[in-house]
């Protein structure tokens, strides 16, 4: 564990902004896709 403190971890050696947006956006896209599919699934089942 070479980060020492949470602040250091979040700062990512000064590249925090780029790193966290990359990972955050990836997760957000995948979760959003799952959420959208869930909704589409419910729609495709309903009112037959």
Partner 1 sequence: MNWYKFSSPKTFYPVAGSLAPYFLGVAGALLILGLYIAFFLAPTDFQQGEAYRIIFVHVPAAWMSMFVYLIMAGWSVVGLSLNSKLSYMMAQALAPTGAIFTFLALVTGSLWGKPMWGAWWVWDARLTSELILLFLYVGYMALHSALDDVRRADRATAVFALVSAVNVPIIYFSVKWWNTLHQGASVSLTQAPAMAKIMLMGMLIMSISFWMYTIGVALLRLQCIIAEREREIIWMNEAQRSE
Residues in 9-38 that interact with partner 1 by CB under 8 A: 9, 12-16, 18-19, 21-23, 25-26, 29-30, 33-34, 37
Q: How far is the CB of 14 from partner 1 (least distance, A)?
A: 7
Residue with tokens 């050696």: 13
Indicate if the alpha-carbon torsion angle 2, 6, 8, 13 is positive or negative: positive
Residue 45 binds partner 1, judged by CB under 8 A: yes
Tokens of 13: 């050696």
| Residues 36, 39: Cα–Cα separation, whole Å | 5
| Residues near partner 1, by CB under 8 A | 1-3, 9, 12-16, 18-19, 21-23, 25-26, 29-30, 33-34, 37, 40-41, 44-45, 48
């Amino acid at each position: 564990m070479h980060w020492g403190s949470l602040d250091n971890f979040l700062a990512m050696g000064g590249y925090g902004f780029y790193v966290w947006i990359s990972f955050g956006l990836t997760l957000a896209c995948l979760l959003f896709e799952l959420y959208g599919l869930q909704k589409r699934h419910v729609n495709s089942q309903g009112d037959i």
